[in-house]
Chain A
Amino acid sequence: MSLSEAKRVMESIESLGEGFDPGKAKHYMSLVKEFVSRARQFRESHGLALTSPFFDPTEQLQVILPECLERRLRDWETGPSRPNPYIKMACRGYIRYLAAREDLPPDQREVADIYAPLIRLLTEGGSFYMHHGDICIPDVGTLPVVAY
């Protein structure tokens, strides 16, 4: 398990704060597009009938996080920063991915890395949530992701 990396990311998640930069609007949107692209690639490579880009790419691996990491994650999820449900899904999904990465077949390690762009978005001051079939980046824009 890549626990050291998972713990490092956990620390960065716990310290998320201000820092939104309107000048990075296109950059923020490109990170969301990259996330959707990665999620779609995962869906297609596994032939899954996933209906939303927000899912746990390690769901089939029965990942059990170390108790201390699980507790930190839970404390952050329920703590004063009150992350929205989609940020929770992304962060938990990424931590689980990092913790399980070494257990993944080598050819699957990259394709399962779907949430890295969103974690980067958060650490660079952005935010996101799903809204009526779009991914919304507050004060930036929306990316329609459902099929019309």
Chain B
Amino acid sequence: MVATGFFHDENWYVGDETRDASYSSDDGLADVIAVESSGGGSFASDYSSGTHWSSSSSTTTYSPDGEASVVGGSTMTWTATSFGSTTQGASGAPYAYSFSGGGDPDAWIAGGGDDGGLGASWDEPAIEPTPPLYEGYWWEVGKGLKGYFYDAPKSLASGVASAVAHPIRTIEGIGDLVERLATDPGAVVGAVGDAVGRKLESGTEGQAELFGDVALAIFGPQVLAKAAPLVGLKKAAETAEAVEAVEAGFRGATGAGWAGDLGAAARYAEILATDDVAALAKHAGVPENVVSSVKTHLFDTVHEIPIGPDKWYVGRFHPSTEIADLWQAASRGERIDEFRLLIGHEYAEHVLMKYTGLPYRSPHPSAWDEGASMATSTHFGAHDMAPHAWEPRPLSDLQIMMWENFLGRP
């Protein structure tokens, strides 16, 4: 048997630590977020096409038998003894996973192809299938935004694209895609073809598809090479004389500006110390790793943020009472609509910054006008490209031009 659209993606680092692994299927029933292992390397496999990629030949020793939650009401159990230690790096490496659990296997396991043993031990359905989470997630993000993500994958048949084509976790799939590009960037970029130009001319739905399509390509080295000079991409470290290194957090008022919300700083610290990711993911219908990534991005990561032409601030984002209020309300199951908007914005921003090196906003002098950052279609940053926080408005014409230029398609 083979899992139709079943996609497996793992990345881990040398040393014992929690690995970042994901399993997905087209119907959204399979979505494992993390298991433990030791070793190093990465590989990705599209079991529906029998294609395997590997970027290393590291040896991985898997942890003893374990169990991971599978979004959609299933539980996946793997048996360490079935594969023990295995060497990655060759097509058809012995991924002898043993799966068992509920959900609706018939919905995501079909005949044909090489599944590397996946699905071989699926039991009869033990749990009623639950509705795909995207119905509650992206729809709620807002009509305008929904199309950009949910509709995008429909036109993409490539197996390479299946991580992003997964409707439940398209945004999350952007992160997956980055990993995939480590092994086969050409295939991902090639999957986009000339679709961008056509879709721009085909109205709202076409534009809706655009975002998803470009998401497939933005992390390609070829694209990034074109994008970097366009956005004036320079790391703060390269403009050391202009960098104003500030301790994480923020300073008091200088008289020139506002001190920032001192009360919110304590709230941010409180949030960081709170184990709330699982609750937020459940309330919002968002995968836990997305919430976890956004939490780190918002509250803990030290960013390099342009605050003027070639001038940088190094520190955490300035705290905001309103974001703290929203985060804590969402953890209680309140203000979920607003929270989803925030998550959508921050996750896209996070992925663009972390994986492409795009700055929060452009430090290029052309993008600054008397103290204000006025992004242009050629000088912009991750914040400018991301769907808006707080307001469910679709990507603007300017944002779409940014995406085009980021892709080197003026």
Contact = CB atoms under 8 A, between A and B. Distances in A.
Interface of A: 22, 25-26, 29, 32-33, 40, 49-53, 82, 84-86, 127, 129-134, 136, 138-148
Interface stretch (B10-18, B66-74, B200-208, B396-404): B396-404
A18 B170 CA distance: 29
A140 B374 CA distance: 6
Interface in B253-275: 253-262
A29 B372 contact: yes
Contacts of B259: 49, 51, 146-147
Contact of B318 (A29, A32, A143, A146): A146
Interface string B298-333: 000000010110000100011010100100000000
Contacts of A49: 253, 259
B374 A145 contact: no
A29 B367 CA distance: 13
Given A22-B398, A52-B258, A130-B320, A147 B373 contact: no
B369 interface: yes
Given A26-B369, A85-B322, A139-B398, A146 B389 contact: no
B388 interface: yes
Given A22-B397, A138-B388, A139-B396, A146 B373 contact: no
Contacts of A147: 250-260
A141 B361 CA distance: 10
B375 interface: yes
Contacts, number: 109
B369 A52 contact: no
A132 B246 CA distance: 15
Nearest to A142: B373
B250 A141 contact: no
Given A132-B318, A139-B396, A52 B260 contact: yes
Smallest CB-CB A-B distances: 8 pairs? A133-B318, A147-B257, A84-B390, A141-B374, A132-B317, A139-B396, A51-B259, A147-B254
Contact of B373 (A26, A52, A143): A143
Contacts of B373: 134, 141-144
A22 B398 CA distance: 9
B391 interface: yes
A33 B370 CA distance: 10
B109 to A, nearest CB: 42
Given A51-B259, A84-B390, 7 more contacts: A84-B338, A131-B390, A144-B307, A145-B258, A147-B252, A147-B255, A147-B260
A49 to B, nearest CB: 8
Contacts of A148: 244, 246, 251, 257, 307, 313
